[in-house]
Amino acid sequence: MAVLWLDEIGADDLETVGGKGASLGELTGAGLPVPPGFVVTAGTYRSFIEEAGIDDELFAAVDVDADDSAALAEAADRAQELILETPFPDDLREEILAAYDEIGTDTDDSSDDGGAFVAVRSSATAEDLPDASFAGQQETFLNVTEDRLLERVRECWASLFTQRAIYYRQEQGFDHSTVNIAVVVQQMVDAEKSGVMFTSHPSTGDPTMIIEAAWGLGEAVVSGAVSPDNYVLDREDRSVDVTVAEKKVMHVKDAETGETVERAVPEDRRDERVVTDAEIDALVDLGERVEDHYGEPQDVEWAIVDGEVFMLQSRPITTIDETDRADAATDSLEETADPITGVTDGSGSVQSTQGSDATGTDSGEIVVDGLGSSPGIVSGPAKIVTKLDDLAKVSDGDVIVTEMTMPDMVPAMKRASGIVTDEGGMTSHAAIVSRELGVPAIVGTTNATTVLEDGQVVTLDGDRGAVLEGAEVEPEEETEPVEEVRPQSPVKPMTATEVKVNVSIPEAAERAAATGADGVGLLRTEHMILSLNQTPEKFIEENGADAYTNELVQGIRSVADEFYPRPVRVRTLDAPTDEFRELEGGADEPAEHNPMLGYRGIRRSLDRTDVFAHELEAFRRLYEMGYDNVEIMLPLVNDAEDVHRAKRQMTKAGIDPEKRKWGVMIETPASALCVEEMAATGIDFASFGTNDLTQYTLAVDRNNEHVADRFDELHPGVLRLIGDVIETCREHDVDTSICGQAGSKPDMVQFLVNEGVSSISANIDAVRDVQHEVKRVEQKLLLESVR
């Protein structure tokens, strides 16, 4: 049979109906409230491609190097073409439509022609597995009627071969020819409210239920389109901690077309609590039933219509048994966390002072001091790096001492236990990358390369900004930096103001994603480009434009994969000329007296549109590959004319500004003062780059150690510009965010939340504390409004 009904299916039918189908059948058999439906079996898909004679060509087409984005795109196009252009056999067509007609008799919700609205959902045989989750890899279609049902089933089959799905399977080691796909056709629940529920704490397994809820269909919650309410329930005493979010949009069925559309939530419901106490009780009861049935904690998707709760999906929570070490690290963080950065003295390097046996640094003599830019205490031999060739002598556990780091030093920085520089401030390359890698660092010492000797054993105190003579720290058991930023739960604390994370290098993506952040507020492309050790023009000249674009695609994709479907906001190229001059081909770069005020950001991109076009081509390819979570951010704009010109370049590159999310950085007083005109160009967001906004407002070079003490993002002039921009953007329905260093500071967080900013992007090591600070401020605002 090509079709099996859900009440005929159980957990043992995974190979026949896929992960989603098996789960829904098991829930139906357990008497849980699952909407009725049937599954077009995985064997039907296999028979379809084999009887049509396209199977050999299909699997040969996708046997490519997934890291070659051009080959991957060609493979995906050909594979999907083979499936979509192969006609349905008549007997299969009749069997599926007959089953659909039976669903129509069970529902009052039907289309104009009398047919039921159904959800058509892919259910791959390699999906929702204990050791691999392919959730989101294949297609789901909502509010489908008879006239498009067969087309949607075939599109689900074809989605097994999108670029992203092909790439992900190869990364996970799955043979394409052994993965089949079933399709669930299920009565559509026209939800008034919906969301997800963890039946137990997703990290510890403690008896704590976490419910996320929003208005309308659950796709808005799952895709990250809306910030949902958050309800945390203690299953022992039934107390509930409620965080009500501002829910700006919802996904609903269009009354005229029947299609799923995004609508603005009415003003009077945006700040209204979604689920009642009675509905929470009903969800908790269902959650306990499904957890008891499976014998393990579950991640459940649910929906409510006319007061009735439906379960749409349930899968095991796979993170609990992997977090013992993470919990221990988190406990350590909470006990001694720095109030600004949110991390302890131990930063994850080999010789950090996380253990109680480590010796403090009070007894050593300070030989060099500067700005502590990345916390932690380590001991090791200093390696003086004055040219790139010197990087070869840096071994695991060494302390790099250099004038200033560059992107091509990142591999060596990953090996080092600590980093010390003569130049730079808290927002320099050395400071940013060190924090992301979890490596203790001191910047702006002015004289470390001349005072310290090659091979000299020193202790670096990244908190105090001091380098001491000798080894003051005993080596500790090695820990992974990723574990030290992993929160106890990926969803708590939930906040109405989104908390995102900054990422400078793709290598830090896993560590950044482990924080549980709501997405990436800033992914810098310049570090990907500068690591090529050639200027863009030189690299293109020697390797071709396609190779240049591929470098960007690979770098961005590695981050987008880690965060999917959470948004990743990618900034186009913004490197000053002095950094380009250090690269091969840099002799042709302008020699600028102050590069920070010079030929960089969007002004360079609009002047060199040929190179900018290759950057935009990378975004176009990513969208084509299915990375709809990627957003484009334009740096150093001054006014609406800059934005209009960049928008024309996007359109020329094949990117539809009406369909993709894009926006600008507010980094100059001019852009802050002209934001209303820029809002009229169609931008979706404006993001504060407080590092530049502060330096341009206060005339303080942020990389100049001589005036570092005058660099103050909380200066009244800077705050006034930020506050005015937020107010203007709210009037024009434009989101606002911050991605500068200041977003990690509690005082700035308090100011931004009070002003109504949409999101805050923090450094990796500060996400957890920013989440708690945001929640504290939001709760205070709620309490004051009640009082």
Residue 739 bears catalytic tag: yes
Q: DSSP class of residue 309?
A: E
Q: How far apart are CA 227 and CA 248, in angstroms?
A: 8
Catalytic residue among 251, 429, 614, 772: 429
From start to end of 193-319, where are the E strands?
193-198, 208-215, 229-234, 240-243, 249-253, 260-264, 298-305, 308-316
Q: Tell how strand 662-666 and strand 685-688 pair up.
A: parallel
Task: Write down how long the chain is.
Answer: 787
Q: Which residue's structure tokens are 């022609």? A: 113
Token pair, residue 466, equals 């001091």
Core vs surface per residue 147-186: b (16+ CB within 10 A) or e: eebbebbbbbbbbbbbbbbbbbbbeeebebeebbbbbbbb
Q: How many helices (H) and strands (E) does the chain have?
A: 29, 29
> Which phi and psi (to 5°) does residue 567 adopt?
-70, 145
Token pair, residue 260, equals 């799923």
**Are 568 and 617 contacting, i.e. CB atoms less than 8 angstroms apart?**
no
Give the dihedral sign, CA 452/455/458/463: positive
Question: What single-letter amino acid sits at 521?
Answer: G
Residue 206, Cβ density class (10 Å: 0-12 exposed, 13-18 middle, ≥19 buried): middle
**Are 444 and 425 contacting, i.e. CB atoms less than 8 angstroms apart?**
yes
Nearest alpha-carbon partner for 466 in 438, 439, 444, 437: 444
Distances (CA, A) of 707 to 128, 216, 689: 54, 52, 19
> Which three-class secondary structure string do you get for 154-221?
HHHHHHHHCHHHHHHHHHHCCCHHHCCEEEEEEECCCCCEEEEEECCCCCCCCCEEEEEEEEECCHHH
Q: DSSP class of residue 364?
A: S
Alpha helices in 504-567 (DSSP H): 509-513, 526-530, 536-543, 545-563
122 CB-side CA count, 13 A: 26
Q: How far apart are CA 401 and CA 453, in angstroms?
A: 9
Core vs surface per residue 576-597: b (16+ CB within 10 A) or e: bbbbbbbbebbeebeeeeebbe
Q: Which residue's structure tokens are 């990723």? A: 482
Q: Which residue's structure tokens are 């003295």? A: 345
Helix (H) or strand (E) holding 40: strand 37-40
Helix (H) or strand (E) holding 435: helix 429-437
- 523 forms bridges with which residues in the sheet? 503, 570
Q: How far apart are CA 616 and CA 610, in angstroms?
A: 10
Catalytic residue among 251, 614, 739, 772: 739
Q: Tell how strand 371-374 and strand 377-385 pair up.
A: unpaired
Q: How far apart are CA 400 and CA 413, in angstroms?
A: 7
Residue 331, Cβ density class (10 Å: 0-12 exposed, 13-18 middle, ≥19 buried): exposed
> What residues act catalytically?
429, 739
